[in-house]
Structure formats: structure tokens, C-alpha cells
């Protein structure tokens, strides 16, 4: 079995980055959820999900070489189906807050997380297998993308929708489709957004965008949380206030989602500039090692999948940190591997498993 | 195994490695930018954010200090602090000011627009007093809605309580929240914007003694305002107690004697200047200022001039009560001798002046009388003629320097008027006329270009009673610091230039005043078998709204043989005919004083 040879030759940097991020995340989640009560079920759940995530990672990475590829459209289809279920649910029980979860008994699933993997896999298949001309290929990609993105916008979950769209565009960039199509699409997309903003956006979404652009207009609302995150990070200084000693996070000044969307602020406050740089370096080495894996494989599908996943992570990292630093609007995207959140963590561990699967299987390519 | 191998894709769809390099480089640039941004935030600007973060969770709460208690001479409480509740706001912690203001208006009826202005004008992190002295119902209503009123809180404080209500209100004064003008004063520079300070009267005069020092507590609070931890930065220091010379029993008796009459009664110890009574009517209940202060009630008080302290602020012609002072000047400068008889023809016989200068007994007359008799029966013609002999400048100088006329008594009150004394220079400057003989003659009977406050007259009579020693009228007996009393009140030695008058002249004047209390003296209503009294009445005429009104005075010194006390009664714009009608009132008061004295012995 040649596969064992590759398991025995692990990609140390990739594994180390992943493990270090998970540990860093657990430490931060423990601190961020301390103020929520003595019975800290969040942390225990987080650890449980890491545990399950590691199993998912292992199972995915050692799964047979064509299993993932063959399941691509199935995963995509399940994702779209779940989004449709969510859409129907939200129509049946209208509420002010966006519906993003499907509850099956005690288990809650976030279909949009699942959809990310499905989209990357199916796009990778289209891009690696298509024989069509660029224009047809681009339309194909658009069709595959627009279905889930549209359903997610309807939830509405702007952050995820934008990140899915971005992944799609990045993968298109990597493909033989000319860059002109991409730029044209972006230009027309922005035009549509602005001219139909009333129909496309919920009021609170537009408010987020405008409050970000103009924080003075809204001192106590949305930008209050952005400001408090900034204060938390800035007041951390060089070395931080010390673990569990953050005043912003412990006294409740950070938004309620300090253990997910604003976990970076907690880290910035308690571990300071050093802590932030260590975190960014770990993300950097995860991205670098993943790209390294992508360049080592000869298989286009594997390349597209790997680069798609890395793009997904990178977009989430940049959007999340940018939001914490008041550079980007609040979008509700978690920090991969670090933030609390079962669905996101399992999805990312699955994705990490797929990349490691590529690493393990990269030599096993057979050209017809 | 075959399924370990799978079919590779065509090279047509391969990824150009340059594109990967471009994207990785782009990501690297973004990461570098984020790191630089972090460096700027956490290293270059950390101080700013550290202070912003501490402003978030550190809150300084001031704690009101109890003011010192004010006692009368027998230790009876005149003013004390009692616990109450105030409503405060911290602007920074209020999520939506308009919403909160609306709710507060619904709860305790404060106009929301005023409230919004108040909150928006305040410092973001400092407490702002919204309403002091909440009623029990208001406090309950606010506390029931506490969860809806983030940034608004009820805090324990103190309010001033005056157990004797209207009694002694004018001199005692009252307290209130410090005004913006007061905050500019040097002596109040360290005060917080919400502090209670004495506004008028003794509360104001002894503000720094009574005040104490606010406590300061540093609180660590979470975003909901829950206090996690607190440390005392500055302990509360209670204000010093004051002990006054006032005897509240005498004060109340005096107020009862005044009844509905506008006027005042003063009782002063002529040996040391201690004021035992200083009653003024009409008055007000100083507790009014520790309550909700309804506008209607306020307007009523203003209307009846309730805040006007007649003893220190009322200015009246002294009338015949001026005659002992005229006598002293005449005797001392040998314009008259104790035995010289001057004839009272009922009116002055100087040509052209007959109509104007009549004696009060006109068309009757007193005939030839000496100065003692003239004081006894308060002959006007005698004093017209005496004053006509005076050299104007030295006369006016004497009234000022010896008599303290137009000079403040420096009583320990913040509001005191000078009174008025004309002079040839003044008359020329403001009336464009020379000083006529008649002007001096008018001064001779306490009329004309002259007005005095009752306290000035009390002080003057104190000086006569003590035979020339300057008496400084005052309320303070002692202040306490940890129950140790010490005197801070020293008579002002500003009357060093006062002319010396020989003792026999005082005897002469006092004899005349004593005679006045015996039949047929003008103050014979004072006659009693408890104490011998020397007194002078005065029925002073004044113009008010083009009609003539009269103010009635009796000022007494007792015991006649060995003067100890000065008692004064003055009715403003009185319906009584003649000052002698007030003698029974004053007698009752003096007898009450002796009744209390005998109880001690």
C-alpha cells in the first residue's frame, strides 16, 4: 500500500499549523466564554467538536482517492437541498432575525457551512473537467454558483454569500476563463447591488454597510460593537492584559459573539500584539502549507479543491480580522479553527481533511 | 489496487502557477497590512485605547457628605442632615437618551426636553443630578423600572432638615445644589457640580465649616452597570457642627409676639454681642428647599417677601430711637449740658420753619425741658434745636464712626445692607443743593437723609449699653470638630477711631431712657417689677408710594443699672398709632427672657 508511505511522511508544517490554531482557539474560547457563567458548556462543546473534527479530518484524509471527487455533486446537492429547507422554514415562520440553522432534534446544522464545501467540490469538477469554450464554462460556473449564493442571500447571510461568490471568482481566476469575464461580472454585480439595494438588502444589512462607512452616524448601535472590539484590541498593547484578564471581554463590552465573530478582539486584548502576530503567522503557515500541497499535486481537480478551500479560509480570516479592526463591515463570519461554532469547525476540519487527503493521494495520479 | 489510482484531468484545465504566485503574494500583502494596522493600534496607540477601555469599566462615584448640624445655645437642633434619595444619570451609559427621558417623564414627571438638554450638556462619565430628594413613591417607581433605565440610578444622599420650620428661617438660610456661579468661586473650586451648598444665611456664611468632604468610590462595572468591585478613593468627611448663640425658645416666643405684624424682634447680649433672638416676619419654611419646590408656592413666598430678612436688610429711618445718639454727640461736644433747659414751643419758632418742624405733641408743647426729660418724652423741638447747634461735618462723621450709621455691622450673615447717611457732599452731588440747617435738624430726630437696619440699631444700643465698647453682633457661639468646641468668632476691632465719651454722659442718656419707661415716658408700657429697663421709642415717618407710612421702634437696654442686654422691636408700616403701643409686646418678651433665666437658676 503506497498510501501508508505518505501517511508515514506527514506534512509537518500543515499539521502543526492546524493543531496550533485549534489549541489557540480552544484557549481563547475558554477565556471568551468565562463571563457567560460558571457552567461553561461552550468550552466543553468546543472541545467535543474539535474531537469530532479530528475524526472527520482523519477519515476524510485517508478516504479512498476518488471518493471525494465522486461525492462532489452529491455534497452540492445536499447543500442546496438544506438551504431550500431553510428557505421554506423561514417563509413559514417569519421572524426578524435571519434563520440560519436547521434543527434536527438536538442537533443544529448550518446549511451554508456545508454548502461551502459542496460549492468548492462541484466548481472544481466543472473547472477541471470542462471541455467547453471559456464563455460557456463561465456561464456554467455562474449557474453552479448563483443557486446556493442566491439562497444564502435570501436567508439573509451576506457574509457567507460574499465569501462564496469570492471563492467562485477566485477559482475562475485560476481557471482558463479570461480575467475579463471576472472583472465584467464584478462591475455589473456592483451596479446591480447599488441600484437594487432596497430589494436585495434587509435594512439592518444596509445599516451595517453604511454604519461602517460612517461610524459617527450611529454611536450606540452597530458601530458601537466595532468600536468596542477596536478598543479591546488597542488596549491589549504589546503583551496583552494577560490571559483571562481582558476588561472589555470580561465586563461584557464586546458583543455577545465575542467567542465567535469577535474572538480576535479577545485574543488581541488578552495576548496583545505578540498574540495577534502569532495567530496571523499560524494562519499564514496554514495557507502557505496548503498552497504547497496544491502545487505538489499534478491533478487539476485536487489543485482546484485545495486552492478553493485555502481561498475560503483566507477570505474568512481577512474578513473576520478586518471586521475586528474596523477595516471591514460587520458580516458575522467566524475565524476558521479559532472561533466557537460546531458547524463551522466541522466544515473546516472536513475541508482540512480534504487538503490532507490531497497531500496523501498526490502521487496516485494516473493519466489516461 | 486500482481504486487507489484515479484518472487525472487533461492538461487543458491545469492551473498556471504564476496565478497562484500572484494570489499568494496578494494575500501576503493583505496579511502584512493587517499586521501593520495591529502594530499601529496596539503598540503606537495603546495608551489611547487603554484609557478608552478603562473609561468603559471604571466609574467614579461621589458620596455625599453629611453637613454639620446647627444647634442653638442649648444644644437644640436647628438644622441637620437626614438621609434621602437622589436620582442621577451617567450620560455615557444611557443607550438612547430620548427613550430614557420619555420614561423618566412618565415616572416622575420631569420634562423630557429639559432632561435631554441636561444629560447632553453633562460630561460623558460624570454623574448628573436629575432630581434631588425623591419621594418614596418616585424612588419606588424608578427602582421598579431600573432594568429599562440603563445609566440612571438612585443614590443615597442627604437633605437638610429644619425641625423648627419657619422659626429663625431668615438667618439660618437654606441649602441647595451648587449653582454654576458658585462653582467659579475660589472657595468652592474643589466642589463637584452636584454638591449641596449653603445658599443664604448662616448656612452660607459658615459653608466651609459645615460642608465636609465628599467621598469618592472607584467602581469597576460591567457593561450592564453591575458593580464588580469597589474601592474607596476618598473617605467621607462629615462637616463641622455649629453652635449658635440663638435660644430657639426665645426666638419662637418673639415670632409669636410678632404674630401677623411685619417686623422684627432682636435680642442681643450687650456684653459680648451674642444674638439670642433674631426674628423676622413674614418667613418661610426652609424645608421648602429640600422638597419638590412647587412654583405656585414659590411665587406666593416671593409675593409676600418671605425671604427678606428685616433685621439685616430692612432699611428704615430710625426716628426718635436716634435721639440717644444725638444726645451723646451734643453732650460730648458741649453743645448742651445735662442741666440746660431748652424750650419746646410745640413747633420751631425759627421764621419760615414753624410749619415744618413741629413737636409730636403739637399743638401742645413741652415747655422748658432738660435733655433727660427730652429723651423721656421724646421731645422733637428739643432735638431740632440741639441738632441746629451742631457743626455738620463733625456731626456726620460722629454718626458714622461712633454710631456705625451706613456701615455694615459685619454680622455673620451673607446679606446685609449698609443703610444710608447723607452728607453735604452727597447732597450737592446728587440733589444739586447745599446742606440746609433743616437737614441737620431732621437728622436730630432720626429722619431725613438717613436709613438704618434694625441690626445697626441693635449694635449701636449695645455700644451705648456697654458705655462705648464696640459690640459685634453675631450668631456663632462655637464650631465643633470631633465634639471639641472652639471659638472662631472674634469681634472686629475696626472701630478704633471711635471717639471716647465720658461715662457720665452715658449715665445721663441712660437715665433719660430709663425715665422713658416710667409714667409718663413714651415707653412706660415697659414698666414691670422684674427688671429695670432703659428704652427709647421711635415712630419713624417714611414715604411709600406717595403716602406717608410709619415704622415703629422700641429699643431697650436692661437692666438699667448694669446693662447686659439689648432688645429691639420694630414694626414695619404698622397700623399702630405710636411706638409706645409696642411696649407691651417688648415687655412680654423681656419677661419671658427672665422667666427662662430664672428656670436656669
Band (pLDDT 50/70/90 cuts) for residue A212 is low
Question: Is pLDDT at A276 greater than 50 in this prediction?
Answer: yes
Is the preceding omega at residue B588 within 30 degrees of 0, hence cis?
A: no
Cβ–Cβ of B34/A280 closer than 8 Å?
A: yes
- Is residue A368 in some structural domain? no
Provide, rounded to the nearest whole percent, the portion of chain B with pLDDT above 70.
93
Cβ–Cβ of B4/A295 closer than 8 Å?
A: no
Query: Sign of torsion, CA A94 A95 A96 A97?
Result: negative
Report the chain B residue with the minimal C-alpha distance to residue A233.
B42
More confident position, B455 or B230: B455
Q: Residue B527: is it exposed, middle or buried by C-beta count within 10 angstroms (0-12/13-18/19+)?
A: middle
Among B2, B15, B95, B97, the strongest candidate for a mutation testing the A interface, having the largest count of A CBs within 10 A, is B15
Cβ–Cβ of A253/B223 closer than 8 Å?
A: yes
Cβ–Cβ of B53/A325 closer than 8 Å?
A: no
Cβ–Cβ of A236/B42 closer than 8 Å?
A: yes
The boundaries of the domain holding residue A223 are: 8-361
Band (pLDDT 50/70/90 cuts) for residue A98 is low
Do residues B42 and B214 make contact, with C-beta atoms less than 8 angstroms apart?
no
Q: Which residues contact B251 (CB under 8 A, 6 or more apart)?
A: B72, B167, B168, B276, B277, B278, B279
- Is residue A302 in some structural domain? yes
Cβ–Cβ of A233/B96 closer than 8 Å?
A: no
Q: What is the mean pLDDT of residues B300-304?
A: 91
Cβ–Cβ of B56/A314 closer than 8 Å?
A: no
Provide the CB-side half-sphere exposure for A196 (13 A, CA).
8
Question: Is pLDDT at A368 greater than 50 in this prediction?
Answer: no
Which residues 294-313 of B have a C-beta within 8 angstroms of A? Answer: none
Band (pLDDT 50/70/90 cuts) for residue A97 is low
Provide, rounded to the nearest whole percent, the portion of chain A with pLDDT above 70.
83
- Count CB atoms within 10 A of the CB of residue A106: 5
Q: Terminus-to-terminus CA distance in chain B, angstroms?
A: 127
Q: Is A37 on the interface with B (CB under 8 A)?
A: no
Cβ–Cβ of A231/B12 closer than 8 Å?
A: no
B398-430 residue pLDDT tens: 999 999 999 998 888 988 999 999 999 999 999
Q: Please report the pLDDT score of residue B491 as a whole number.
A: 47
- Chain B residues lying within 8 Å of A251, measured CB to CB: 56-57, 220-223, 228
According to CATH, the topology of domain B248-294+309-600 is Beta-lactamase (3.40.710)
Q: Is A214 on the interface with B (CB under 8 A)?
A: no
B86-118 residue pLDDT tens: 888 887 778 778 888 888 888 888 888 888 887
Which residues 466-505 of B have a C-beta within 8 angstroms of A? Answer: none
| DSSP 8-state code for residue B495 | -
Cβ–Cβ of B28/A298 closer than 8 Å?
A: no
Q: Which residues pair with B481 in a beta bridge?
A: B484
Question: Is pLDDT at A7 greater than 80 in this prediction?
Answer: no
More confident position, A64 or A290: A290
Q: Please report the pLDDT score of residue B98 as a whole number.
A: 81
Which residues 156-185 of A have a C-beta within 8 angstroms of B? Answer: 170, 173-176
Q: Please report the pLDDT score of residue A5 as a whole number.
A: 57
Q: Please report the pLDDT score of residue B54 as a whole number.
A: 81
Provide, rounded to the nearest whole percent, the portion of chain A with pLDDT above 90.
44
Q: CB-CB: which of A176, A234, A364 is closest to B41?
A: A234
Cβ–Cβ of A248/B53 closer than 8 Å?
A: yes
B34-74 residue pLDDT tens: 999 999 999 999 998 888 888 777 777 788 889 999 999 99
Q: Please report the pLDDT score of residue A213 as a whole number.
A: 53
Q: Which pairing describes strands B215-221 and B227-234: parallel, antiparallel, or unpaired?
A: antiparallel
Which residues 193-222 of B have a C-beta within 8 angstroms of A? Answer: 220-222
Cβ–Cβ of B30/A365 closer than 8 Å?
A: no
Distance CA B499, CA B509 (A): 16
Q: Please report the pLDDT score of residue B276 as a whole number.
A: 96
Do residues B244 and B97 make contact, with C-beta atoms less than 8 angstroms apart?
no
More confident position, B566 or B304: B566
Q: Is A128 on the interface with B (CB under 8 A)?
A: yes
Cβ–Cβ of B20/A232 closer than 8 Å?
A: no
Q: What is the mean pLDDT of residues B570-599?
A: 93
Q: Which residues contact A335 (CB under 8 A, 6 or more apart)?
A: A25, A263, A264, A316, A317, A320, A321
Question: Is pLDDT at B30 greater than 90 in this prediction?
Answer: yes
Report the chain A residue with the minimal C-alpha distance to residue B30.
A318
**pTM higher than the cut 0.90:** no
Q: Which residues pair with B274 in a beta bridge?
A: B474
- Is residue A367 in some structural domain? no
Question: Is pLDDT at A222 greater than 60 in this prediction?
Answer: no
Band (pLDDT 50/70/90 cuts) for residue B21 is very high
Among A235, A305, A335, the strongest candidate for a mutation testing the B interface, having the largest count of B CBs within 10 A, is A235
B64-94 residue pLDDT tens: 889 999 999 999 999 999 998 988 888 777 8
Q: Which pairing describes strands B565-571 and B215-221: parallel, antiparallel, or unpaired?
A: unpaired
- Is residue A320 in some structural domain? yes
Do residues B597 and B250 make contact, with C-beta atoms less than 8 angstroms apart?
no
Q: CB-CB: which of B27, B39, B45 is closest to A287?
A: B27
Do residues B424 and B435 make contact, with C-beta atoms less than 8 angstroms apart?
yes
Show me where the domains of chain B are located: 59-244, 248-294+309-600
Question: Is pLDDT at A217 greater than 60 in this prediction?
Answer: no
Rounded to whole angstroms, what are the CA distances from B423 to A285, B392, B499? 100, 8, 19
CB contacts < 8 A, A to B, total 166
Cβ–Cβ of A284/B28 closer than 8 Å?
A: yes
B374-394 residue pLDDT tens: 999 999 999 999 999 999 999
Q: What is the mean pLDDT of residues B536-546?
A: 89
Q: Which residues pair with B59 in a beta bridge?
A: B219
Q: Is B124 on the interface with A (CB under 8 A)?
A: no
Band (pLDDT 50/70/90 cuts) for residue B497 is low
Band (pLDDT 50/70/90 cuts) for residue B6 is very low
B455-494 residue pLDDT tens: 999 999 999 999 988 888 999 887 665 444 444 444 454 5
Location of C-alpha cell 431740632: B384
- Is residue A3 in some structural domain? no
Q: Is A38 on the interface with B (CB under 8 A)?
A: no
Distance CA B219, CA A104 (A): 46
Distance CA A73, CA B65 (A): 76
Cβ–Cβ of A247/B30 closer than 8 Å?
A: no
Q: What is the mean pLDDT of residues B293-319?
A: 92
A2: phi then psi, degrees, rounded to nearest 5: -70, -25
The Cα of B216 is separated from the nearest Cα of chain A by a number of Å equal to 22
Q: Please report the pLDDT score of residue A288 as a whole number.
A: 95
Do residues B329 and B348 make contact, with C-beta atoms less than 8 angstroms apart?
no
Q: Is B39 on the interface with A (CB under 8 A)?
A: yes
Rounded to whole angstroms, what are the CA distances from B503 to B464, B466, B509? 10, 10, 10
- Is residue A366 in some structural domain? no
- Count CB atoms within 10 A of the CB of residue B272: 17
Cell numbers for B168, please give them.
429663625
Question: Is pLDDT at B353 greater than 80 in this prediction?
Answer: no
Q: Count of domains in chain A? A: 1
- Chain A residues lying within 8 Å of B223, measured CB to CB: 251-253
Q: Please report the pLDDT score of residue A239 as a whole number.
A: 92
Q: Which H or E run contains B6?
A: strand B6-7
Mean residue pLDDT of chain B comes to 87
Q: CB-CB: which of A233, A236, A277 is closest to B35?
A: A277
Cell numbers for B565, please give them.
442686654
Distance CA B569, CA B555 (A): 6
| DSSP 8-state code for residue B15 | P
More confident position, B187 or B257: B257
Buried (b) or exposed (e) across A160-187, using 16+ Cβ within 10 A? bbbbbbbbbbbbbbbbebeeebbeebee
Q: Is A273 on the interface with B (CB under 8 A)?
A: yes
The Cα of A232 is separated from the nearest Cα of chain B by a number of Å equal to 7
Which residues 228-247 of B have a C-beta within 8 angstroms of A? Answer: 228
Question: Is pLDDT at A158 greater than 70 in this prediction?
Answer: yes
Q: What is the mean pLDDT of residues B491-518?
A: 83
- Is residue A121 in some structural domain? yes
Assess if CATH 3.40.50.12780 describes domain B59-244. Answer: no
Cβ–Cβ of B222/A251 closer than 8 Å?
A: yes
Q: Which residues contact A240 (CB under 8 A, 6 or more apart)?
A: A246, A268, A269, A270, A271, A272, A273, A274, A275
Location of C-alpha cell 505538489: A296
- Is residue A219 in some structural domain? yes
Do residues B334 and B395 make contact, with C-beta atoms less than 8 angstroms apart?
no
Cell numbers for A217, please give them.
452616524
Provide, rounded to the nearest whole percent, the portion of chain B with pLDDT above 90.
55
Question: Is pLDDT at B258 greater than 60 in this prediction?
Answer: yes
Report the chain A residue with the minimal C-alpha distance to residue B5.
A364
Q: Is B40 on the interface with A (CB under 8 A)?
A: no
Q: Is A333 on the interface with B (CB under 8 A)?
A: no
Amino acid at each position: 500500500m503506497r498510501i501508508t508511505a505518505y501517511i508515514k511522511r506527514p506534512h509537518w508544517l500543515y499539521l502543526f499549523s492546524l493543531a496550533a490554531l485549534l489549541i489557540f482557539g480552544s484557549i481563547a474560547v475558554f477565556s471568551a466564554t468565562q463571563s457567560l457563567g460558571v457552567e461553561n458548556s461552550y468550552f466543553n462543546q468546543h472541545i467535543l467538536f474539535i474531537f469530532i473534527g479530528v475524526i472527520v479530518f482523519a477519515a476524510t484524509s485517508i478516504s479512498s482517492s476518488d471518493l471525494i471527487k465522486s461525492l462532489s455533486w452529491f455534497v452540492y446537492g445536499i447543500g442546496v437541498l438544506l438551504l431550500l429547507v431553510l428557505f421554506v422554514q423561514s417563509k413559514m415562520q417569519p421572524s426578524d432575525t435571519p434563520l440560519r440553522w436547521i434543527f434536527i432534534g438536538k442537533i443544529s446544522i448550518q446549511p451554508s457551512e456545508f454548502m461551502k464545501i459542496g460549492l468548492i467540490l462541484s466548481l472544481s469538477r466543472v473547472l477541471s473537467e470542462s471541455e467547453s469554450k471559456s464563455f460557456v464554462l463561465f456561464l456554467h460556473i455562474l449557474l453552479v454558483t448563483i443557486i446556493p449564493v442566491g439562497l444564502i442571500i435570501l436567508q439573509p447571510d451576506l457574509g457567507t454569500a460574499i465569501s462564496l461568490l469570492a471563492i467562485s471568482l477566485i477559482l475562475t481566476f485560476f481557471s482558463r476563463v479570461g480575467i475579463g469575464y471576472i472583472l465584467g461580472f464584478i462591475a455589473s454585480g456592483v451596479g446591480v447591488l447599488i441600484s437594487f439595494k432596497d430589494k436585495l438588502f434587509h435594512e439592518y444589512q444596509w445599516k451595517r454597510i453604511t454604519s461602517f462607512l460612517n461610524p459617527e452616524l450611529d454611536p450606540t448601535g452597530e458601530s458601537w460593537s466595532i468600536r468596542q472590539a477596536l478598543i479591546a484590541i488597542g488596549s491589549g498593547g504589546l503583551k496583552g492584559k494577560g490571559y483571562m484578564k481582558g476588561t472589555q471581554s470580561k465586563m461584557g463590552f464586546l458583543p455577545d459573539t465575542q467567542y465567535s465573530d469577535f474572538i480576535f478582539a479577545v485574543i488581541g486584548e488578552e495576548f496583545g500584539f505578540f498574540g495577534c502576530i502569532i495567530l496571523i503567522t499560524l494562519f499564514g503557515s496554514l495557507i502557505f502549507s496548503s498552497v504547497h500541497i496544491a502545487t505538489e499535486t499534478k491533478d487539476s481537480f485536487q489543485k482546484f479543491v485545495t486552492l478553493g478551500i485555502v481561498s475560503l479560509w483566507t477570505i474568512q480570516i481577512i474578513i473576520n480580522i478586518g471586521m475586528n479592526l474596523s477595516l471591514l463591515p460587520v458580516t458575522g463570519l467566524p475565524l476558521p479553527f479559532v472561533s466557537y461554532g460546531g458547524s463551522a469547525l466541522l466544515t473546516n476540519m472536513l475541508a482540512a481533511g480534504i487538503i490532507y487527503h490531497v497531500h496523501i493521494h498526490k502521487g496516485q495520479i494516473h493519466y489516461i | 489496487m486500482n481504486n487507489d489510482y484515479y484518472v487525472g484531468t487533461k492538461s487543458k484545465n491545469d492551473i498556471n502557477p504564476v496565478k497562484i504566485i500572484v494570489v499568494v503574494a496578494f494575500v501576503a500583502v493583505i496579511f502584512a497590512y493587517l499586521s501593520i494596522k495591529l502594530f499601529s493600534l496596539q503598540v503606537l496607540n495603546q495608551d489611547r485605547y487603554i484609557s478608552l477601555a478603562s473609561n468603559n469599566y471604571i466609574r467614579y462615584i461621589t458620596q455625599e457628605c453629611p453637613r454639620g448640624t446647627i444647634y442653638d445655645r442649648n444644644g437644640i437642633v436647628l438644622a441637620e442632615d437626614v438621609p434621602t434619595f437622589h436620582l442621577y444619570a451617567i450620560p455615557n451609559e444611557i443607550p438612547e437618551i430620548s427613550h430614557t427621558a420619555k420614561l423618566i417623564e412618565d415616572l416622575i414627571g420631569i420634562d423630557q426636553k429639559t432632561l435631554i438638554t441636561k444629560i447632553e450638556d453633562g460630561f460623558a462619565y460624570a454623574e448628573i443630578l436629575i432630581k434631588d430628594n425623591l419621594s418614596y413613591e418616585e424612588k419606588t417607581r424608578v427602582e421598579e423600572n431600573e432594568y429599562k433605565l440603563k445609566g440612571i440610578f438612585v443614590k443615597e444622599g442627604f437633605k437638610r432638615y429644619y425641625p423648627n420650620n419657619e422659626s429663625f428661617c431668615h438667618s439660618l438660610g437654606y441649602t441647595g445644589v451648587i449653582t454654576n456661579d458658585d462653582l467659579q468661586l475660589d472657595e468652592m473650586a474643589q466642589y463637584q457640580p452636584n454638591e449641596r451648598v449653603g445658599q443664604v444665611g448662616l448656612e452660607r456664611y459658615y459653608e466651609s465649616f459645615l460642608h465636609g468632604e465628599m467621598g469618592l468610590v472607584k467602581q469597576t462595572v460591567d457593561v450592564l452597570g453591575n458593580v464588580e468591585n469597589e474601592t474607596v478613593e476618598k473617605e467621607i468627611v462629615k462637616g463641622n457642627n455649629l453652635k449658635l448663640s440663638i435660644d430657639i425658645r426665645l426666638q419662637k416666643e418673639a415670632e409669636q409676639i410678632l404674630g401677623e405684624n411685619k417686623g422684627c424682634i432682636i435680642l442681643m447680649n450687650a456684653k459680648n454681642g451674642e444674638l439670642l433672638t433674631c426674628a423676622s416676619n413674614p418667613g418661610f419654611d426652609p424645608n421648602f428647599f429640600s422638597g419638590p419646590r412647587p412654583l405656585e408656592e414659590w411665587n406666593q413666598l416671593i409675593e409676600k417677601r418671605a425671604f427678606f430678612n428685616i433685621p439685616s436688610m430692612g432699611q428704615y429711618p430710625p426716628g426718635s430711637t436716634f435721639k440717644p445718639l444725638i444726645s451723646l454727640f451734643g453732650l460730648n461736644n458741649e453743645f448742651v449740658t445735662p442741666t440746660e433747659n431748652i424750650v419746646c414751643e410745640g413747633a420751631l419758632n425759627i421764621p419760615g420753619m414753624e410749619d415744618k418742624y413741629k413737636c409730636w405733641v403739637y399743638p401742645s408743647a413741652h415747655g422748658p425741658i432738660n435733655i433727660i426729660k427730652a429723651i423721656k418724652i421724646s421731645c422733637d423741638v428739643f432735638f431740632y434745636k440741639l441738632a441746629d447747634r451742631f457743626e455738620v461735618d463733625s456731626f456726620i462723621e460722629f454718626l458714622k464712626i461712633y454710631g456705625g450709621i451706613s456701615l455694615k455691622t459685619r454680622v455673620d450673615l451673607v446679606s446685609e445692607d449698609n443703610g444710608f447717611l447723607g452728607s453735604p457732599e452727597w447732597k450737592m452731588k446728587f440733589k444739586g443743593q447745599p446742606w440746609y440747617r433743616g437737614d441737620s435738624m431732621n437728622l436730630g430726630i432720626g429722619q431725613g437723609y438717613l436709613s438704618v437696619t434694625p441690626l445697626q440699631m441693635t449694635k449701636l444700643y449695645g455700644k451705648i449699653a456697654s458705655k462705648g465698647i464696640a459690640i459685634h453682633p453675631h450668631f456663632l457661639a462655637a464650631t465643633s470638630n470631633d465634639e471639641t468646641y472652639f471659638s472662631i468668632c472674634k469681634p472686629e476691632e475696626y472701630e478704633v477711631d471711635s471717639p471716647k465719651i465720658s461715662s457720665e454722659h452715658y449715665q445721663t442718656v441712660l437715665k433719660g431712657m430709663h425715665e422713658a419707661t416710667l409714667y409718663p415716658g413714651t415707653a412706660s408700657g415697659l414698666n414691670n417689677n422684674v427688671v429695670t429697663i432703659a428704652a427709647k421709642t421711635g415712630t419713624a415717618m417714611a414715604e411709600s408710594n406717595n403716602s406717608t407710612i410709619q415704622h415703629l421702634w422700641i429699643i431697650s437696654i436692661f437692666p438699667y443699672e448694669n446693662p447686659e442686654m439689648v432688645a429691639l422691636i420694630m414694626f414695619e408700616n404698622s397700623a399702630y398709632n405710636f411706638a409706645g403701643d409696642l411696649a407691651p409686646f417688648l415687655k412680654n418678651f423681656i419677661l419671658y427672657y427672665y422667666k427662662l433665666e430664672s428656670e436656669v437658676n
